[in-house]
Structure 1
Amino acid sequence: MSHLKLLKVLDLPDNKIQKFSKNAMEQLNFVFDSLDIGIHLAGNVLQCSCNAIEFIEWILDKNEYFPEKNKIKCKFLNDTDIFLTEFKITMLQLKKNCSSRSVLIISVTIAIALMLIILTFGIVYRYRWRLRYIYYMTKSKYTREYSTQHDNHNYTYDAFLSYADDEQDFINKECIPILEERGNLQLCIHKRDFLPGNEILHNITTSIHESRNVICIITKSFLESYYCMFEFNMARMESIYARNGQNMLFLVFYEQFRASDLPLVMLELVEKDSYIEYPNDEQKNIVFWEKLKEAMT
C-alpha cells in the first residue's frame, strides 16, 4: 500500500470485517507514517474477543485515522455489542476476563497433564515387575540367549536358589551338599553359575527362565535386599506369564516372621502353602530336606 502515494480514503464499509491481521496492521502503520488517510469501517461489526484485543487496541490508538469510529460496532461473544467510541470503558474488563481465561486454560492444561503423568506412573508402578520381566525376556530373545526349554521340560537347572549374602554359610554347608551332592539336583547359584560380563539383572532373569523351580531362602536380609526381591518378583512373573500359572516358586522361611512383616505378594504364596519352614532341629531337618527335594522333582 505504500506505493499508493495519492491515497486519501480506504473505504471498507459493510464488508463483514471482524478484525485486521497483524501483517495488515503493520502495513497500515507504515502508511500512517507517510500518508494522511482515513479508513472507513462503518457497517462492519468487529470482534470484541480475546483474539481481537490487539486489533481493538490498535484502532483505539490510531482513532484519528478512523473518522467514522462512532459508526463502528464491536460485538461480544454473548451477542451484545457497543460502539467503538464506548469501548475504552469496557476494554480493561475484557482484558481482565481474557487474562483470567488464559490462566484457566493454562491451569486446566497443567491439571490434565499432571493427571496423565500420575496415571501413567500409576500404571507403570502397578505393572513394573511385568514390564521388567518382558524387557529382560525380550532382551534375551534378541541376543539369542532366550530358550524355550520349559516347552519340553528340559531345564538347565532343577532349581534357582535365591538368598541373601548373610546366608552364604547355610548355602555352602547345607543346601549344596544335601540338594546337589546327595540329592542329585542341579542348583543355580549366582556366585558360581552366573555368566561373567553379563548384567546381573539379565543373568537373574535368564537363569530363572532356565530353572524348573525357584527356592527363596526368606530372611530379614532377603526382604531388605534389592536383588533378592528382584529375583522373587521375576520368579513370580515367570510363573504367571511363561509357565501358565504353574507353581514353581517355593519359600523357605529360615527365620520366623509375623504376617505383617511380609509383602502381600509373599503372603499370597503362604496362603497357597507354597512354603516350608526351616526347623533347625536335627530330626526335623531330615524331614525338611526330604520335603524340599520332593517338591523340586
Structure 2
Amino acid sequence: MLFIWIFVTGFLHLINGDNCRWTHTNTDVMVDCSGKGLTSIPLLNQSVTYLDISRNDIKALTGSSFDSLPELRFLDISYCKLRDVDKGVFGELYNLQYLNISYNRELGFASLPNITFNLNQTKIASLDLNGINCATGIGALIKLPHLTNIQMTSLKKLSLASNRLELFEPGVISALPKTLQILRLDKNKLTSGAYVLEYPTLSNLKILNMSYQFHPPKYPQSLIDSCHEKVDEDIKCDTVTHKLAYKEFSFNWSMPFPPKLETLYAQSSRLLIKDPKFSIHAPSLKHVFLQDNFLLSLGEPVLAKGNRLESLDISNNFCSHLSRRSIHGGEHLKSLNFSHNDISQDLEEDKEGEIFKTFIRLEVLDISFNKISSLPRLLLRNSSNLMYINASNNRISSWIVNISHMPNLTFLDLSENKLSTLNINTRWEIQRSINMTVDLSGNALACTCENQEFLYWIQKNKYHFQNIEHYTCNTNDLFHFKSLDASLSKLQKRCTSYLGWYIGCAVAVAVSFSCIIGFILVKNKWKIRYMVYKTKQKLGLTAKGRHTSTCLQYEYDAFISYSGHELMFVLKEVIPRLEVNKNLKLLIKDRDALPGIPKVDNIMSSLQESKRTICIVSKKYLESKWRDYELNMAKVEGIKDRGTLDYVILVLLPEVYNGGYPHKIIDLVRKDCYIEYPMESCAYDDFWDRLARMIED
C-alpha cells in the first residue's frame, strides 16, 4: 500500500504541474514546463496566462486539453512531437494572443484546419507554424482550406518558415487577414507563381521575409529521417496549374508589393535575375535585403519612382554589370551594399558619376571586394551626405575620388588594396576633416626617400589613421609604423647622407683604390692566408696528416711553438714540468712532426689538433719568419675557429719583457694572454703551476 501511495502521489505531482517553474507578476502567472518529459497537458489552475510546454513528448491534443486555462494568453507547444490535434482545441482559449506550435514535424499542412478552427473567437495576434512538415521531401502546397479559418482573425504575425513550402494555391494570400503585418516564409522552397500577384492584397503588411530558400536539411541526419507528416484526406481540392504562354513583351512588368510593406528579406533565395525589365511600386518600402543571390547583371533600368527606400543590400550576387541608368529613384537611399561583386569596369568608366547620381542622401556605401583598380574623381559627386565609404579588398593603386564635399564623412576604408601613397589633393581633403578616419592597413606603402613627404604627413596626422601600427611597407623592412618617429628619423639620415656619400666614395675610390686594397691585404694577410688554407683543406688539397680534432676533444693539450735556440729549454724544462709532472700531452715539432708533410701543413695541423698553443717567446723567436707564421696563424685560429684569443698563451722570457713588450705581441699582452718566465728560481714552481692551469682552463 505504501508503494501504491508513493506512485499515485508522484503521478499527481507530475500531472498537476508541480514540477514546473512558476513565476508570478502583477498581471501574469507564468508557468514553464519545457523539457520535463510530459506526455500530456498538466492540470493547472485557471489563473495561468503564460504556458511554455515546449520540448516534451505530447503526441496528441484533445478537445479538453486546455479546459482549465481560460485566461491563457501565451502558449508555446513547439518541439513536442505532436501529430494529432483535435478540431478547435485552441478555439476555446478566448484570451489567446500568441500560439507557437512549431517544429512538430508530423503535423503537416493537413492539420492546419483543426489547429486554426475557431481562432477567430480568440485574440490571436501571433501564430508560429514553423517546421510542421518533415524536413525532407518534395515541395509542399498550401491550399485554400488550410488557412481559411484565420481569415477573420486579427492576426498580425504569421510564420511559416522551414516547411518545404513551394507554392500557395491561388486565393490563399488574398484570404490572409488584412491586419497581418509580418509574414515569414523563409527557409522554404518557394518558386514563383500566380500567388505573387496577390501580395498587394496584404494592405497592412510591413515585413516580408522570403530569405534562405532551397536550403537543404542537415546532413547526414536527413538520410535516416523517419518523419511522416499527415496528408490531406478530407480536403478534396484539385491542384490548380496555371500555364501562361510565353511571349516577348515590349512593355515593362510591374512588381506588385503590399502598399505598407517596409522590409523585404530575400537573401540566399537563389533568385536568378539578369538585366531585369520591370518597375516597382512600393511606396512604404524602406529596407531590401537581396544578398547572396544571382543578380548577374543590372543592365536595364529598374523603375522605382515614388519609393522611400533607405537601405539596399545587393552584396555577393555575382553581378558583373551595373548600368548607369540601372537604379532610378534613389533619392531616399541611405545605405547601399554592393560588395562581393564584379562591377569594377562600370565604376571605373563612370567619369561623370551617373551611377550614383540620384543618391543624394546616401550615408553608407560598401563597394569592397569588387576587383576595382581605379575610381574616377567625380564618381560620388552628388553624394555629399556620405559618412562611411568601404572600398577595401580591391586593387586600387591610386585614390583620386573627390571627398571634399562630404563634411560628414567619418570613415574611409581603403585597406587591402595596392596603394603606395596618397596624392596631394586627397591628403588635403583628409586633413581638413577633423573627424575623418582612414584605414590603409594591408597596403604596401612606399617607405622610400621619394615618398618621405607622405610619410611625414602621416606622422603629423596619425590620429586620422586606424590600425596605423599594422601598416606595412613594400620593400623597406627596416621601416616600422609601430615606431614611426624612430623609423622616419632613420630614413631621413639615410636619405640625406646618400648623395654626399656616393660622391665622396667615388672620389676616394678613384684616388686611393690601390692604396686601400694594399692596406687591406697587408692588414689582413694572416686572415687571408688562414682562409685560403681552410678552403684548400675543405677541398682536400692539403697533405693528409693526423686526424683533425673536433672542438670538443683535442688530441694534444698544447702545441709548443719555439725557436731552435730554445730547444734545450723545451727538453729540460717544458717537457719535464708539463708532460711528466702535470700529465699534459704536448705536441713538440722536433719530436712529433710527421715526416714527408710540408712544413705549412704540419704547422696548421698542430694548431688544429691542440687545445692551446704555447709560444716560448725570445728575441730569436721574434726574429724567425716561421715562428712569426706560427704565432699569427695561431691568433687567427683562436679568433676564427675557437672564438677567443685565450687559445694562444705567450711565455715571455726575461730578455723580452725586460726591455719593454715588442709590437708584434702587444695585442696578446693587452688581452692578458701571456705569462712571464721568472728570473728567480724560487718562483719556477709557481710559474709552471700557473701555466698548467691556463692550459687546462
**1:233 and 1:184, CA in 2 relative to 1: closer, same or farther beyond 3 A?**
same
Once residues 589 and 626 of structure 2 are traced to their aligned partners in structure 1, the CA distance between those partners, rounded to angstroms, is 11
Once residues 518 and 547 of structure 2 are traced to their aligned partners in structure 1, the CA distance between those partners, rounded to angstroms, is 32
Q: Which residue of structure 2 aligns with residue 223 of structure 1?
A: 622
| Deviation, structure 1 residue 244 | 1.5
Select the residue among 262, 285, 289 that pairs with 2:688: 289
Q: Which residue of structure 2 aligns with residue 193 of structure 1?
A: 592
Are the counterparts in 2 of residues 217 and 253 from structure 1 also a CA contact under 8 Å? yes
> For 1:196, what is the secondary structure of its paired residue?
coil
| Deviation, structure 1 residue 188 | 1.0
Q: How does 1:178-189 map to 2 (within 5 A)?
A: 178-189=577-588
Q: Which residue of structure 1 aligns with residue 539 of structure 2?
A: 142
What's the TM-score once normalised by structure 2's chain length? 0.25
Are the counterparts in 1 of residues 556 and 587 from structure 2 also a CA contact under 8 Å? yes
Q: Which residue of structure 2 aligns with residue 160 of structure 1?
A: 559
Q: How does 1:27-106 map to 2 (within 5 A)?
A: none
What's the TM-score once normalised by structure 1's chain length? 0.57
Select the residue among 217, 229, 235 that pairs with 2:634: 235
Q: How does 1:124-139 map to 2 (within 5 A)?
A: 124-139=521-536
Which string of whole-angstrom CA distances, capped at 9 and with x for unpartnered residues, describes residues 49-78 of structure 1?
Answer: xxxxxxxxxxxxxxxxxxxxxxxxxxxxxx
Select the residue among 663, 681, 696 that pairs with 1:263: 663
More helix by share: 1
Which string of whole-angstrom CA distances, capped at 9 and with x for unpartnered residues, describes residues 94-148 of structure 1?
Answer: xxxxxxxxxxxxxxxxxx8995443332221111000111122222333365966
Which string of whole-angstrom CA distances, capped at 9 and with x for unpartnered residues, describes residues 158-204 of structure 1?
Answer: 00101111111100111011111221111111111122121111211
Are the counterparts in 2 of residues 279 and 285 from structure 1 also a CA contact under 8 Å? yes
Number of aligned positions between the proteins: 185
> For 1:173, what is the secondary structure of its paired residue?
helix
**1:147 and 1:247, CA in 2 relative to 1: closer, same or farther beyond 3 A?**
farther
Q: Which residue of structure 2 aligns with residue 209 of structure 1?
A: 608
Select the residue among 502, 518, 523 that pairs with 1:121: 518
Once residues 522 and 530 of structure 2 are traced to their aligned partners in structure 1, the CA distance between those partners, rounded to angstroms, is 13
Once residues 531 and 660 of structure 2 are traced to their aligned partners in structure 1, the CA distance between those partners, rounded to angstroms, is 30
> For 2:643, what is the secondary structure of its paired residue?
coil
Structure 1 residue runs of 5 or longer lacking an equivalent are 1-111
Are the counterparts in 1 of residues 645 and 673 from structure 2 also a CA contact under 8 Å? no
**Which residue identity lines up with residue 293 of structure 1 in the other structure?**
A
Once residues 546 and 514 of structure 2 are traced to their aligned partners in structure 1, the CA distance between those partners, rounded to angstroms, is 34
Which string of whole-angstrom CA distances, capped at 9 and with x for unpartnered residues, describes residues 227-269 of structure 1?
Answer: 11111101110111001225111111112336755125x2122
Are the counterparts in 2 of residues 161 and 187 from structure 1 also a CA contact under 8 Å? yes
Once residues 288 and 260 of structure 1 are traced to their aligned partners in structure 2, the CA distance between those partners, rounded to angstroms, is 20
Once residues 539 and 564 of structure 2 are traced to their aligned partners in structure 1, the CA distance between those partners, rounded to angstroms, is 32
Once residues 272 and 186 of structure 1 are traced to their aligned partners in structure 2, the CA distance between those partners, rounded to angstroms, is 26
Select the residue among 213, 237, 248 that pairs with 2:647: 248
Once residues 262 and 150 of structure 1 are traced to their aligned partners in structure 2, the CA distance between those partners, rounded to angstroms, is 34
| Aligned-pair Cα RMSD in Å | 2.4
> For 1:252, what is the secondary structure of its paired residue?
strand
Once residues 631 and 558 of structure 2 are traced to their aligned partners in structure 1, the CA distance between those partners, rounded to angstroms, is 13
Once residues 539 and 554 of structure 2 are traced to their aligned partners in structure 1, the CA distance between those partners, rounded to angstroms, is 20
> For 2:559, what is the secondary structure of its paired residue?
strand
Once residues 622 and 645 of structure 2 are traced to their aligned partners in structure 1, the CA distance between those partners, rounded to angstroms, is 24
**1:192 and 1:140, CA in 2 relative to 1: closer, same or farther beyond 3 A?**
farther
Q: Which residue of structure 1 aligns with residue 671 of structure 2?
A: 272
Structure 2 residue runs of 5 or longer lacking an equivalent are 1-508
Q: Which residue of structure 2 aligns with residue 45 of structure 1?
A: none
Are the counterparts in 1 of residues 555 and 609 from structure 2 also a CA contact under 8 Å? yes
Once residues 160 and 286 of structure 1 are traced to their aligned partners in structure 2, the CA distance between those partners, rounded to angstroms, is 21
Once residues 617 and 683 of structure 2 are traced to their aligned partners in structure 1, the CA distance between those partners, rounded to angstroms, is 19
Identity within the alignment, %: 36
| Relative contact order higher in (CA < 8 Å, ≥ 6 apart) | 1
Q: How does 1:5-44 map to 2 (within 5 A)?
A: none
Once residues 286 and 275 of structure 1 are traced to their aligned partners in structure 2, the CA distance between those partners, rounded to angstroms, is 17
Q: Which residue of structure 1 aligns with residue 216 of structure 2?
A: none
Are the counterparts in 1 of residues 545 and 602 from structure 2 also a CA contact under 8 Å? no
Are the counterparts in 1 of residues 654 and 678 from structure 2 also a CA contact under 8 Å? no
| Deviation, structure 1 residue 277 | 0.9
> For 1:247, what is the secondary structure of its paired residue?
helix
> For 2:553, what is the secondary structure of its paired residue?
coil
Once residues 263 and 206 of structure 1 are traced to their aligned partners in structure 2, the CA distance between those partners, rounded to angstroms, is 27
Q: Does 1:173 align with 2:575?
A: no
> For 2:557, what is the secondary structure of its paired residue?
strand
Rg larger in 1 or in 2?
2
Are the counterparts in 2 of residues 218 and 254 from structure 1 also a CA contact under 8 Å? yes
Once residues 116 and 122 of structure 1 are traced to their aligned partners in structure 2, the CA distance between those partners, rounded to angstroms, is 10
Once residues 272 and 119 of structure 1 are traced to their aligned partners in structure 2, the CA distance between those partners, rounded to angstroms, is 28
Are the counterparts in 1 of residues 562 and 615 from structure 2 also a CA contact under 8 Å? yes
> For 1:149, what is the secondary structure of its paired residue?
coil
**Which residue identity lines up with residue 602 of structure 2 in the other structure?**
N
Once residues 148 and 196 of structure 1 are traced to their aligned partners in structure 2, the CA distance between those partners, rounded to angstroms, is 17
Once residues 221 and 271 of structure 1 are traced to their aligned partners in structure 2, the CA distance between those partners, rounded to angstroms, is 22
Which string of whole-angstrom CA distances, capped at 9 and with x for unpartnered residues, describes residues 262-297 of structure 1?
Answer: 125x21221222211111433200000000111111
Q: Which residue of structure 1 aligns with residue 259 of structure 2?
A: none
| Deviation, structure 1 residue 214 | 0.6
Are the counterparts in 2 of residues 140 and 146 from structure 1 also a CA contact under 8 Å? no
